[in-house]
Protein backbone atom coordinates (compact mmCIF):
# COMPACT_ATOMS: atom_id res chain seq x y z
CA UNK A 1 0.00 0.00 0.00
CA UNK A 2 1.31 3.49 -0.80
CA UNK A 3 1.90 5.91 2.05
CA UNK A 4 -0.12 9.08 1.38
CA UNK A 5 0.54 12.34 3.19
CA UNK A 6 -2.31 14.82 3.57
CA UNK A 7 -1.38 18.29 4.79
CA UNK A 8 -3.95 20.68 6.23
CA UNK A 9 -5.58 17.98 8.36
CA UNK A 10 -7.26 20.54 10.63
CA UNK A 11 -8.84 22.57 7.83
CA UNK A 12 -12.40 22.27 6.61
CA UNK A 13 -11.54 20.07 3.64
CA UNK A 14 -8.91 18.13 5.55
CA UNK A 15 -11.34 17.34 8.36
CA UNK A 16 -13.82 15.89 5.89
CA UNK A 17 -11.23 13.90 3.95
CA UNK A 18 -9.80 12.41 7.15
CA UNK A 19 -13.01 10.37 7.28
CA UNK A 20 -13.22 9.52 3.58
CA UNK A 21 -9.63 8.63 2.67
CA UNK A 22 -8.64 5.81 5.09
CA UNK A 23 -10.72 3.09 3.38
CA UNK A 24 -8.89 3.93 0.14
CA UNK A 25 -5.44 4.70 1.53
CA UNK A 26 -5.05 2.89 4.88
CA UNK A 27 -1.46 4.13 5.29
CA UNK A 28 -2.47 7.78 5.58
CA UNK A 29 -0.20 10.29 7.30
CA UNK A 30 -1.86 13.50 8.49
CA UNK A 31 -0.12 16.79 9.13
CA UNK A 32 -0.82 20.35 10.20
CA UNK A 33 0.70 22.86 12.62
CA UNK A 34 -0.96 20.99 15.49
CA UNK A 35 -2.98 17.81 15.85
CA UNK A 36 -6.77 17.85 15.36
CA UNK A 37 -8.63 17.95 18.66
CA UNK A 38 -10.53 14.77 17.77
CA UNK A 39 -7.54 12.76 16.50
CA UNK A 40 -8.24 9.07 17.02
CA UNK A 41 -5.83 6.31 17.98
CA UNK A 42 -6.23 4.83 14.49
CA UNK A 43 -4.89 8.00 12.81
CA UNK A 44 -1.23 8.80 12.24
CA UNK A 45 -0.28 12.44 12.68
CA UNK A 46 2.95 14.42 12.48
CA UNK A 47 3.06 18.17 13.11
CA UNK A 48 5.05 20.35 10.72
CA UNK A 49 5.39 24.03 9.86
CA UNK A 50 5.31 24.41 6.08
CA UNK A 51 7.54 27.48 6.27
CA UNK A 52 10.38 25.32 7.67
CA UNK A 53 11.98 23.26 4.89
CA UNK A 54 13.69 20.90 7.33
CA UNK A 55 10.41 20.01 9.00
CA UNK A 56 8.69 19.46 5.66
CA UNK A 57 11.51 17.29 4.34
CA UNK A 58 11.32 15.09 7.44
CA UNK A 59 7.55 14.90 6.96
CA UNK A 60 7.96 13.62 3.38
CA UNK A 61 10.32 10.78 4.24
CA UNK A 62 8.93 7.45 3.08
CA UNK A 63 5.92 9.08 1.41
CA UNK A 64 4.71 7.95 -2.04
CA UNK A 65 2.09 10.62 -2.74
CA UNK A 66 0.94 13.92 -1.24
CA UNK A 67 -2.44 15.61 -1.09
CA UNK A 68 -1.53 19.18 -0.25
CA UNK A 69 -4.35 21.05 1.47
CA UNK A 70 -2.08 22.85 3.93
CA UNK A 71 -1.54 26.61 4.03
CA UNK A 72 -3.64 29.74 4.39
CA UNK A 73 -7.08 29.00 2.93
CA UNK A 74 -8.66 32.48 2.69
CA UNK A 75 -7.59 35.98 1.74
CA UNK A 76 -5.07 37.36 4.20
CA UNK A 77 -2.19 39.72 4.71
CA UNK A 78 0.81 39.43 2.41
CA UNK A 79 2.98 38.02 5.19
CA UNK A 80 0.45 35.33 6.09
CA UNK A 81 0.10 34.30 2.45
CA UNK A 82 3.86 34.50 1.87
CA UNK A 83 4.84 32.25 4.74
CA UNK A 84 2.12 29.60 4.45
CA UNK A 85 1.41 29.45 0.72
CA UNK A 86 4.40 30.87 -1.16
CA UNK A 87 7.31 29.70 0.99
CA UNK A 88 5.31 26.77 2.30
CA UNK A 89 4.32 25.72 -1.21
CA UNK A 90 7.90 25.82 -2.43
CA UNK A 91 9.07 23.85 0.59
CA UNK A 92 6.45 21.17 -0.04
CA UNK A 93 7.48 20.60 -3.65
CA UNK A 94 11.20 20.80 -2.92
CA UNK A 95 10.96 18.44 0.06
CA UNK A 96 8.97 16.01 -2.06
CA UNK A 97 11.66 16.09 -4.74
CA UNK A 98 14.45 15.49 -2.25
CA UNK A 99 12.61 12.57 -0.65
CA UNK A 100 11.61 10.89 -3.91
CA UNK A 101 7.86 11.42 -3.63
CA UNK A 102 6.23 10.30 -6.87
CA UNK A 103 2.96 12.27 -7.02
CA UNK A 104 1.47 15.49 -5.66
CA UNK A 105 -2.15 16.63 -5.70
CA UNK A 106 -2.10 20.38 -5.13
CA UNK A 107 -5.19 22.14 -3.83
CA UNK A 108 -5.42 25.14 -6.13
CA UNK A 109 -8.51 27.34 -6.18
CA UNK A 110 -11.10 29.00 -8.38
CA UNK A 111 -9.57 32.22 -7.05
CA UNK A 112 -6.61 31.68 -9.38
CA UNK A 113 -9.04 32.69 -12.15
CA UNK A 114 -11.57 34.70 -10.15
CA UNK A 115 -11.47 37.84 -12.29
CA UNK A 116 -13.10 36.18 -15.27
CA UNK A 117 -16.70 37.38 -15.66
CA UNK A 118 -19.47 34.93 -14.97
CA UNK A 119 -20.80 35.09 -18.50
CA UNK A 120 -17.58 33.61 -19.88
CA UNK A 121 -16.97 29.87 -19.75
CA UNK A 122 -13.30 29.04 -19.29
CA UNK A 123 -11.20 25.90 -19.60
CA UNK A 124 -8.00 24.85 -17.89
CA UNK A 125 -5.76 26.59 -20.44
CA UNK A 126 -6.85 30.16 -19.75
CA UNK A 127 -4.46 32.81 -18.51
CA UNK A 128 -4.63 33.13 -14.72
CA UNK A 129 -6.59 36.12 -13.38
CA UNK A 130 -6.28 35.90 -9.59
CA UNK A 131 -8.67 37.90 -7.46
CA UNK A 132 -6.43 38.52 -4.43
CA UNK A 133 -3.20 37.61 -2.69
CA UNK A 134 -4.61 34.17 -1.92
CA UNK A 135 -5.38 33.65 -5.62
CA UNK A 136 -1.85 34.78 -6.52
CA UNK A 137 -0.45 32.11 -4.20
CA UNK A 138 -2.50 29.46 -6.00
CA UNK A 139 -1.18 30.60 -9.38
CA UNK A 140 2.31 30.33 -7.87
CA UNK A 141 1.55 26.80 -6.67
CA UNK A 142 0.36 25.75 -10.12
CA UNK A 143 3.56 27.18 -11.61
CA UNK A 144 5.62 25.23 -9.09
CA UNK A 145 3.76 22.08 -10.06
CA UNK A 146 4.52 22.64 -13.71
CA UNK A 147 8.20 23.25 -12.96
CA UNK A 148 8.62 20.18 -10.77
CA UNK A 149 6.77 17.98 -13.26
CA UNK A 150 8.83 19.11 -16.27
CA UNK A 151 12.21 19.47 -14.58
CA UNK A 152 12.13 16.80 -11.89
CA UNK A 153 9.57 14.23 -13.08
CA UNK A 154 7.01 14.56 -10.30
CA UNK A 155 3.49 13.71 -11.40
CA UNK A 156 1.43 16.75 -10.43
CA UNK A 157 -2.31 17.41 -10.47
CA UNK A 158 -3.63 20.86 -9.54
CA UNK A 159 -7.32 21.01 -8.60
CA UNK A 160 -8.94 24.44 -8.85
CA UNK A 161 -11.44 23.82 -6.08
CA UNK A 162 -14.75 25.65 -6.30
CA UNK A 163 -16.86 25.54 -3.13
CA UNK A 164 -16.47 22.35 -1.10
CA UNK A 165 -19.35 21.16 1.04
CA UNK A 166 -22.42 19.01 1.38
CA UNK A 167 -24.55 21.37 -0.73
CA UNK A 168 -24.29 24.70 -2.57
CA UNK A 169 -25.08 27.58 -0.22
CA UNK A 170 -26.13 30.36 -2.61
CA UNK A 171 -26.59 31.16 -6.29
CA UNK A 172 -22.87 31.52 -7.03
CA UNK A 173 -22.15 28.15 -5.52
CA UNK A 174 -24.64 26.46 -7.85
CA UNK A 175 -21.95 27.05 -10.49
CA UNK A 176 -18.90 25.98 -8.48
CA UNK A 177 -20.07 23.42 -5.90
CA UNK A 178 -17.86 20.40 -5.14
CA UNK A 179 -19.26 17.41 -3.27
CA UNK A 180 -16.74 15.73 -0.91
CA UNK A 181 -17.02 12.36 -2.68
CA UNK A 182 -16.24 14.07 -5.99
CA UNK A 183 -13.08 15.64 -4.58
CA UNK A 184 -12.00 12.15 -3.52
CA UNK A 185 -12.43 11.05 -7.15
CA UNK A 186 -10.20 13.88 -8.37
CA UNK A 187 -7.55 13.12 -5.74
CA UNK A 188 -7.50 9.48 -6.80
CA UNK A 189 -7.01 10.49 -10.41
CA UNK A 190 -4.00 12.55 -9.36
CA UNK A 191 -2.54 9.80 -7.20
CA UNK A 192 -3.27 6.80 -9.42
CA UNK A 193 -3.93 7.62 -13.08
CA UNK A 194 -1.10 6.30 -15.29
CA UNK A 195 -1.24 9.22 -17.74
CA UNK A 196 -0.64 12.04 -15.25
CA UNK A 197 2.31 14.34 -15.94
CA UNK A 198 1.03 17.81 -15.10
CA UNK A 199 -2.68 18.60 -15.05
CA UNK A 200 -4.92 21.49 -14.03
CA UNK A 201 -8.46 20.29 -13.33
CA UNK A 202 -11.50 22.05 -11.92
CA UNK A 203 -12.86 20.89 -8.59
CA UNK A 204 -16.56 20.99 -9.40
CA UNK A 205 -19.41 18.51 -9.30
CA UNK A 206 -22.11 18.13 -11.95
CA UNK A 207 -23.17 21.78 -12.06
CA UNK A 208 -25.46 22.73 -14.93
CA UNK A 209 -24.66 26.42 -14.35
CA UNK A 210 -20.90 25.77 -14.44
CA UNK A 211 -18.55 28.52 -15.62
CA UNK A 212 -15.79 25.98 -16.25
CA UNK A 213 -15.15 23.49 -19.03
CA UNK A 214 -13.83 20.48 -17.11
CA UNK A 215 -13.51 18.15 -20.07
CA UNK A 216 -9.93 17.19 -19.22
CA UNK A 217 -11.08 15.76 -15.89
CA UNK A 218 -13.74 13.72 -17.69
CA UNK A 219 -11.10 12.49 -20.15
CA UNK A 220 -9.19 11.13 -17.17
CA UNK A 221 -12.24 9.23 -15.91
CA UNK A 222 -13.93 11.75 -13.61
CA UNK A 223 -17.63 11.03 -13.09
CA UNK A 224 -19.08 13.37 -10.44
CA UNK A 225 -22.02 12.14 -8.41
CA UNK A 226 -23.13 15.48 -6.95
CA UNK A 227 -25.71 17.58 -8.85
CA UNK A 228 -26.02 21.21 -7.83
CA UNK A 229 -29.53 21.71 -9.22
CA UNK A 230 -30.86 19.27 -6.63
CA UNK A 231 -30.29 22.11 -4.13
CA UNK A 232 -31.55 24.96 -6.31
CA UNK A 233 -34.41 26.08 -4.06
CA UNK A 234 -32.20 26.15 -0.98
CA UNK A 235 -29.48 28.12 -2.77
CA UNK A 236 -31.91 30.71 -4.12
CA UNK A 237 -33.52 31.15 -0.71
CA UNK A 238 -30.13 31.74 0.88
CA UNK A 239 -29.21 34.19 -1.87
CA UNK A 240 -32.03 36.54 -0.82
CA UNK A 241 -30.30 36.99 2.55
CA UNK A 242 -27.11 38.35 0.96
CA UNK A 243 -26.47 42.03 0.18
CA UNK A 244 -25.98 43.13 -3.41
CA UNK A 245 -22.35 43.22 -4.53
CA UNK A 246 -22.00 44.81 -7.99
CA UNK A 247 -18.35 43.80 -8.34
CA UNK A 248 -18.52 40.38 -6.74
CA UNK A 249 -21.76 39.48 -8.50
CA UNK A 250 -20.16 40.15 -11.88
CA UNK A 251 -17.01 38.08 -11.48
CA UNK A 252 -16.53 34.38 -10.84
CA UNK A 253 -14.49 35.03 -7.69
CA UNK A 254 -17.37 36.73 -5.91
CA UNK A 255 -16.52 38.72 -2.80
CA UNK A 256 -12.82 38.01 -3.26
CA UNK A 257 -13.01 40.36 -6.26
CA UNK A 258 -14.87 43.16 -4.49
CA UNK A 259 -12.74 43.09 -1.33
CA UNK A 260 -10.27 46.01 -1.46
CA UNK A 261 -11.43 46.79 -5.03
CA UNK A 262 -10.63 50.37 -6.04
CA UNK A 263 -10.33 49.97 -9.81
CA UNK A 264 -12.29 51.63 -12.59
CA UNK A 265 -15.85 50.34 -12.29
CA UNK A 266 -16.81 51.98 -15.61
CA UNK A 267 -14.61 49.46 -17.41
CA UNK A 268 -16.09 46.35 -15.85
CA UNK A 269 -18.59 45.82 -18.65
CA UNK A 270 -15.69 45.58 -21.09
CA UNK A 271 -13.80 42.95 -19.12
CA UNK A 272 -13.70 39.38 -20.26
Asked if residues 62 and 4 have their Cβ atoms less than 8 Å apart, the reply is no
pLDDT of residue 271: 59
pLDDT of residue 1: 72
Those residues whose C-beta lies under 8 Å from the C-beta of residue 187, and which sit 6 or more positions away, are 17, 21, 67, 105, 159
Q: What angle do CA 174, 247, 255 make, to 5 degrees?
A: 55
Asked if residues 94 and 132 have their Cβ atoms less than 8 Å apart, the reply is no
pLDDT of residue 270: 60
Measured distance CA(184)–CA(217) in Å, rounded: 13
Helix axes 88-99, 133-152, angle to 10 degrees: 20
Q: Cα dist. 175→85, 90, 156, 251 in Å?
A: 26, 31, 26, 12
Would you give the DSSP letter of residue 266?
Answer: G
* Domain ranges within the chain, ordered by starting residue: 4-270
Asked if residues 30 and 38 have their Cβ atoms less than 8 Å apart, the reply is no
Those residues whose C-beta lies under 8 Å from the C-beta of residue 9, and which sit 6 or more positions away, are 15, 18, 30, 31, 32, 35, 36, 45, 69
Q: What is the pLDDT along the chain (272 residues), one digit of tens a residue?
A: 799 999 999 999 999 999 999 999 999 999 999 999 999 999 999 999 999 999 999 999 999 999 999 999 999 999 999 999 999 999 999 999 999 999 999 999 999 999 999 999 999 999 999 999 999 999 999 999 999 999 999 999 999 999 999 999 999 999 999 999 999 999 999 999 999 999 999 999 999 999 999 999 999 999 999 999 999 999 999 999 999 999 999 999 999 999 999 988 877 756 55
pLDDT of residue 269: 59
Asked if residues 161 and 201 have their Cβ atoms less than 8 Å apart, the reply is no
pLDDT of residue 121: 97
Q: Say which CATH architecture domain 4-270 belongs to.
A: 3-Layer(aba) Sandwich (3.40)
Neighbours of 134 (CB within 10 A): 23
Point out the residues that are catalytic: 134
pLDDT of residue 267: 72
Measured distance CA(138)–CA(158) in Å, rounded: 9
Measured distance CA(113)–CA(121) in Å, rounded: 11
Closest CA to 210 of 229, 225, 186: 229
pLDDT of residue 234: 96
Asked if residues 64 and 101 have their Cβ atoms less than 8 Å apart, the reply is yes
Measured distance CA(154)–CA(148) in Å, rounded: 6
DSSP reduced 3-state for 209: coil
This prediction's pTM: 0.96
Burial class (CB in 10 A: 0-12, 13-18, 19+), 125: exposed
| 105 sits in which H/E element | strand 103-109
pLDDT of residue 223: 98
Amino acid sequence: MPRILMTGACGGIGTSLRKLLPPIYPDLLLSDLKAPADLSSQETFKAADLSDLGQVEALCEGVDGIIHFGGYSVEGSWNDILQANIIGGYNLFEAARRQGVKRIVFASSNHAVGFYPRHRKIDNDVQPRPDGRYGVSKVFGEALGSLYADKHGLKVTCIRIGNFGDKPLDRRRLSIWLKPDDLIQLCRIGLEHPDIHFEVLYGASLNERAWWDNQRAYDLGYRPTGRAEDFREHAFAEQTKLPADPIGDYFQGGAFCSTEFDGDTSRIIDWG
